[in-house]
Structures are given as C-alpha cells and as structure tokens.
C-alpha cells in the first residue's frame, strides 16, 4: 500500500528543512561573493563565469529565491535583499526583446505586490503583461525571442502574466490574447500522449503552422524534459488564472507523460528521447519545475486519488533532489544549490551544472511542500 502523501510529507519534513537551510546558505554565499550579480548557470560549479547566455531571461530567479526565503522564514534580511535585487528589473516591464516577462516579474514583483498591496507594484505587473501581449502574431500565439515565426513551449510559463493583468484590470482583449496563445500551443506543441515539442514554426505572413522544431531538445519530435515541465506547470497556472477546464486537462495529460516516462526517483534525463549512449544526462531543473507544478496540480484537481498521486510524485521528486546525488551540500566548493542540470545541450552551455531556474523552482517546491499549500510560495 502506498504511503499517504501527508504522512510522507511529515516524514520528509526534516530533510526538506535542511535543504531549505542549505539553499539559504548558498544564496547568502552568492550575495557575499558576487554582490548585485544574478546567476544563470555555473561553470564547473562556480557562478559568474557564464559565457554565452543566448537570451536574458534569468534575472528574476535569484531575487525570487530571496522572496521565497522571506516568505518561509519571515526574516527581514531576505526582504531587504529581495527588494534590492528586484528593483533593477523595473525598466524591463517595457522590454520587447524577450518572451520571458512572466519569469522576470512573477518571481519578483508579484511576490512583492502580494506582500504589500502597493498600487505602484501592481501597475508594473500590468505594464509587463501589456508589453508581453505585443508579441502576438497572426497565427494566434506570442512569438519567442527567436523571431515572429517561432512559438516556444516555454512561453506557457509567461502567458499567465497576461491573464493576471486581465483579471486585475478587466481587460478582455488581454484575456483573449492569452487564451488564444494557450490554445495554439495545445494544438501545435502538445501531442496526444502528453509529450511536448519545444518549438512551433509558422508562416509569419499567413499565420499557418508549418512544423515543429527545437533549439534545446534532441530533435523536433522528441520530448525535451524541461519543456514538458514548463507545459505541466504552465497549463496548470493558466487553468488557475482563467478557470478554463481544457487547460487542466492538458496539464494532466503532460503530468501523465512525465509519470509514465521518468525513471525511478523521478528526475528525468534532459530529453526523454535522447540516446542513452553518452547523452543520458539528468536535468534536475526539469524535476524541480515538475515538483512545483505537480503540487499546484494537486490543488487544482477534484478527485482525491489524483490529488494524492500528484502530491506523492512531487514529494518523491523532492526526496530525490534532497539526496547527496543532487543537492550540492557535500561539495564545499560548489556554489549552486542543485547539481546535474542542463541549460543548452547543443550549445554546451550549463551542461551538468547548477542553473538559476532549477535552484529557484526547487526552493519554491520546498516552500510549498513544507507549508502544505501552493500559496505559501506567493
């Protein structure tokens, strides 16, 4: 008989608390060693040595960790640091060069706003949502930074910013753009078995879908594990923000693929379809995103058996990530939190390293699991 998820959560509590304390220590270390720097990926375990970044999408994750640590501990130090590291992002609410404004502002300004209720912070979030909506293309999607022809599965983690802004302002047009994007992503990037493609390529003049592609996965037809995790988490988020049941169904379909294809311990390879010989690298960041998304999914479903399954899965992932195989606590010279993540395999960027988003979503999942509820992270 499977252990009840609440009993499992309580048995894991000491381990989860130690992991959160370790994450706090590593974050303090980064602040002390590299003041006012925001990490992206390590090079041989050290921050501030990145080469190419490909695009600037990670600057919200470490301030996001600081907001999470303030929420979890109540310590004033973390709020002071979170505000200090979040403020430089404010001008980027008008940044039209990236599709990642949700990553930048949900992890920082939304947490700040929910703490204080200041109208100024709300307005910054709404501005960011309206800026992101300007990426809408003829084909009914928000274009990736690559160009107007490109739709990324990653954007499911950002489109919620439009829905949040629409809910705050009553702007139906914003809501329509967001829902249209989600439905195009469902149709073009989510397969019937719940696997996902990284990219959809369109005729930018007519809006006609042409084919799938990939920049980070093994192939256009493979399921890149971080992309699947973005979809699982992102479709759950848009269901919570929109109330549209079709998005919950899609999130569950993606969750089923993850559960059916992840190995024991539930930390996946960087791509589920990559050949085993020499290429079967873990991606702990995909696991961390999935753990946090599965906790949210457990709160979104009605059936108690599904709720139990998603919570047990999230806790099993966290149990694995808190082990010495994935947590850097036994490596005193390592500056990140989680080992064995992959940023961009083909460009050889951040391969088998720590990555900022992996650390962020790991801490987010820890905070949710320790509190027993998703809103603990906000």
pLDDT tens, position by position, 84-133: 999 999 999 999 999 999 999 999 999 999 999 999 999 999 999 999 99
- pLDDT for the residue numbered 279: 61
Chain centroid offset of residue 268 CA? 15
Tens-place pLDDT, residues 124-148: 999 999 999 999 999 999 999 999 9
254: tokens are 């993606």
Vertex 58 angle, CA 80 and 41, to 5°: 105
Q: Strand 349-353 to strand 150-152: parallel, antiparallel, or no bridges (unpaired)?
A: unpaired
Parts of the chain with a pLDDT under 50: 1
Please give the sequence-ordered ranges of beta strands (E in DSSP) within the chain, or none if there are none.
150-152, 199-202, 209-213, 341-344, 349-353
- pLDDT for the residue numbered 1: 47
Q: Are 10 and 353 in contact (CB under 8 A)?
A: no
Place of tokens 């690559």: 146
| Closest to 352 (Cα-Cα) out of 116, 43, 126, 94 | 43
What 3-state class would DSSP assign to 344?
strand
- pLDDT for the residue numbered 2: 66
What 3-state class would DSSP assign to 199?
strand
Q: Are 340 and 268 in contact (CB under 8 A)?
A: no
216: tokens are 């980070």
| Closest to 161 (Cα-Cα) out of 236, 201, 105 | 105
- pLDDT for the residue numbered 211: 98
- pLDDT for the residue numbered 53: 87
Chain centroid offset of residue 351 CA? 18
- State the first-to-last Cα distance of the chain, in angstroms, to the nearest integer: 34
What 3-state class would DSSP assign to 221?
coil
């Amino acid at each position: 008989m499977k252990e009840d998820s609440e009993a499992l959560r309580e048995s894991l509590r000491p381990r989860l608390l130690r992991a959160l304390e370790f994450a706090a220590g590593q974050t303090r270390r980064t602040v002390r060693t590299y003041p006012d720097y925001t990490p992206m990926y390590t090079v041989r375990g050290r921050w501030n040595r990145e080469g190419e970044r490909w695009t600037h999408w990670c600057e919200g994750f470490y301030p996001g960790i600081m907001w999470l640590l303030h929420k979890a501990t109540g310590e004033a130090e973390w709020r002071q640091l979170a505000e200090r590291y979040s403020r430089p992002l404010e001008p980027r609410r008008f940044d039209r060069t990236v599709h990642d404004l949700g990553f930048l502002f949900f992890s920082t300004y939304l947490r700040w706003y929910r703490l204080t209720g200041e109208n100024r912070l709300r307005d910054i979030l709404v501005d960011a949502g309206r800026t992101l909506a300007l990426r809408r293309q003829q084909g009914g999607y928000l274009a990736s930074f690559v160009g107007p022809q490109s739709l990324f599965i990653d954007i499911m983690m950002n489109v919620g910013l439009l829905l949040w802004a629409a809910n705050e302002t009553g702007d139906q047009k914003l809501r329509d753009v967001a829902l249209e994007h989600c439905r195009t992503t469902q149709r073009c990037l989510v397969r019937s078995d719940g696997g996902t493609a990284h990219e959809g390529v369109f005729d930018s003049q007519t809006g006609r879908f042409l084919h799938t592609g990939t920049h980070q996965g093994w192939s256009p037809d493979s399921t890149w594990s971080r992309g699947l995790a973005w979809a699982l988490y992102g479709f759950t988020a848009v269901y919570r923000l929109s109330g549209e049941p079709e998005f919950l169904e899609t999130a569950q379909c993606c969750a089923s693929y993850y559960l059916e294809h992840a190995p024991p311990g539930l930390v996946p390879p960087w791509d589920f379809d990559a050949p085993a010989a020499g290429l079967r690298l873990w991606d702990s960041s995909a696991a961390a995103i999935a753990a946090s998304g599965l906790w949210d999914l457990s709160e979104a479903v009605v059936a108690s058996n599904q709720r139990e399954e998603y919570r047990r899965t999230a806790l099993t992932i966290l149990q694995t990530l808190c082990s010495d195989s994935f947590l850097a606590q036994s490596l005193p010279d390592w500056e990140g939190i989680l080992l064995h993540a992959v940023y961009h395999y083909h460009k050889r960027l951040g391969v088998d390293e720590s990555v900022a988003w992996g650390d962020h979503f790991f801490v987010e999942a820890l905070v949710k699991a320790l509190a027993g509820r998703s809103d603990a992270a906000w």
